[in-house]
Amino acid sequence: MHGIQSNEGFGCSMNKGYALGFLIVLLVVVLGLYVAISGFMSSREAQRAQSAAAASTEAAQPSRTATRPLPTLTDTAIVIPSPVPGLTATMTAMVATTVVTEEAPPTETPAPPPTEAPPAQPTDTPPPVVQPPTPAPAYQFRLASPPTADPDYQLCCYVYGTVKDAAGNGLEGVQVQAFNEWITKPPALTKGGADLGIYDIPIDRDQVTWYVMIVDQAGNQISSQVQIQWNPDEANGFRIDWQRTY
């Protein structure tokens, strides 16, 4: 009887030990799952934070890209001793560990130096031809000698003189005209005969500036123009001699 009771007591103790061991193993499994899930969630949150930081970095610096490795799962073995002799509970939990490798920033390529434009090549265009100034029109008559005031002229007040050809011979019928800012005298014709080539033009006694020149039949100027300052107190006449240029 004593032996049977001892065996029954031992059997009860063994059942309680197994139950307690099973309960401990179950707790360890639950704990391992909690640790694994917590680690996985933490790694997901860290990955999201890193992705957001990488996105903001890429937006701020488009030329720089950083590669973040995904978290790696490693097997972690947890050995829990059992209170029951001869029973060992071993649980393998998948714990997510994140290994973050800090990459060196990419090397920025220096911008190439600005290319200088080649110097302008000289063109073969010849310089513009400078036209010489147009010469003044050549008149048919020019002054034969400088105009001279004549205080010994017999009458007052006259502009007189001679008109000759290029050889020095007197010319008849040439028109000589005198005018000032108020009066234009009719042209005087050079004489013929013994007074060949001589002309005279009566003028007023007023002290004014007179202009004298030779004109053609249409009244066009065909000689240079002479300016004289007339003063009857100094001279009775003013002599102007002309000669044809050809």
Question: Looking at the DSSP assignment, which residues form a beta bridge with residue 166?
Answer: none
pLDDT tens track, the chain, 246 positions: 444 445 555 555 667 777 787 888 888 888 888 877 877 787 777 777 777 666 666 555 544 444 555 555 555 555 545 444 444 444 444 444 444 455 555 666 767 666 666 666 666 677 777 777 665 558 999 999 999 999 999 889 999 999 999 999 999 999 999 999 999 999 999 999 999 999 999 998 999 999 999 999 999 999 999 999 999 999 999 999 999 998
Q: What distance in Å separates the CA atoms of residue 150 and residue 241, rounded to the nearest whole number?
A: 13
* Backbone angles phi and psi of 169, in degrees to 5: -90, 140
Q: What distance in Å separates the CA atoms of residue 240 and residue 212, rounded to the nearest whole number?
A: 9
| Domains of the chain, residue spans | 2-97, 141-244
* Backbone angles phi and psi of 31, in degrees to 5: -60, -45
Q: What angle do CA 108, 113, 118 make, to 5 degrees?
A: 160
pLDDT at 18: 76
Q: What is the DSSP track for 146-192?
A: --EEETT-SSSSEEEEEEE-TTS-B-SS-EEEEE-SS-BPPPEEPP-
Q: What distance in Å separates the CA atoms of residue 178 and residue 194, rounded to the nearest whole number?
A: 24
pLDDT at 88: 47
Q: Does domain 141-244 have CATH number 2.60.40.10?
A: yes
The pTM of the whole model exceeds 0.85: no
